Amino acid sequence: MRIKILMKKENKALLKYFILVFAISFLVINWQEVSWIFNYKAMAGIVSSQFQSKIIAESSDIFEKDKAPAPLKNSEPSEKENSVEIPKIEILAPLVVSESASEKDLSKLLNQGTVYFPDSVLPGEAGQTIILGHSAPENWPKIKYDWVFTRLSELTAGDEIFIYFNHKKYTYHVTEKFFLDRGEEAPKSLTKSENMLVLISCWPPGKDLRRIAVVAK
């Protein structure tokens, strides 16, 4: 009887040892895929990311909705689908066009890529084209498009942004970037009808504290 009890204890110890070795081996082999779990910044971002959709409701108040029918001339034919390309920060993401400006509808579309804000002018028209995108903390897993505008702050004057829309390519060059408190209006210099592109996301990445806006012409 004593021998059986000792054998059971030894078997349990071996099982625990095997499970431990297996778990360590799994983490080592799959570290790139699971390392974000141990990043407290990324985990904290999960909690705060649910507030990012609030940017949608505020974007319509940041810029005036001046529209003009005159077309832009800085375009060329393209076979690419509607998308946004920013070479400097290695972004090539779908540009989703919605006819609805409701927070609920736009929030769903942000999971599919960048989103054209319907109360602004379409690419190719004179005025202000506003495009929204999510941002996420460093090392955030590339699930959906939560990460698409994470590196927006790295853009500086002169950097190129390409908008592909209706099989045309529009080229913009960054002129400035600025940060806004929630609900704060854009500088007065941006409220006139100009041929410009405005990219907007939450700041800092993964948190709903402020807004970052990158302006290109």
Domain positions in the chain: 2-33, 50-216
The residue count of the chain comes to 217
The gap from C-alpha 151 to its chain's centroid, in whole angstroms, comes to: 9
- Evaluate if residue 213 carries a pLDDT over 90: yes
Would you say 171 and 22 are in contact if contact means Cβ atoms under 8 Å apart? no
Q: What is the pLDDT of residues 67-125, one digit of tens each?
A: 444 444 568 888 899 999 999 999 999 999 988 888 888 888 999 999 999 889 998 78
- Evaluate if residue 48 carries a pLDDT over 80: no
What is the fold of 50-216? Answer: Sortase; Chain: A; (2.40.260)
Please give the average per-residue pLDDT across 44-60, as a whole number.
48
What's the pTM? 0.69
- Evaluate if residue 207 carries a pLDDT over 90: no
DSSP H/E element including 11: helix 2-29
Question: Looking at residue 24, what is its pLDDT?
Answer: 61
Cis peptide bond upstream of 204, omega within 30: yes
The structure tokens listed for 93 are: 């993401």
How far is the C-alpha of 154 from the C-alpha of 2, rounded, in Å? 69
pLDDT band with cut points at 50, 70 and 90 for residue 11: low
Residue among 182, 181, 199 at smallest CA distance from 190: 199
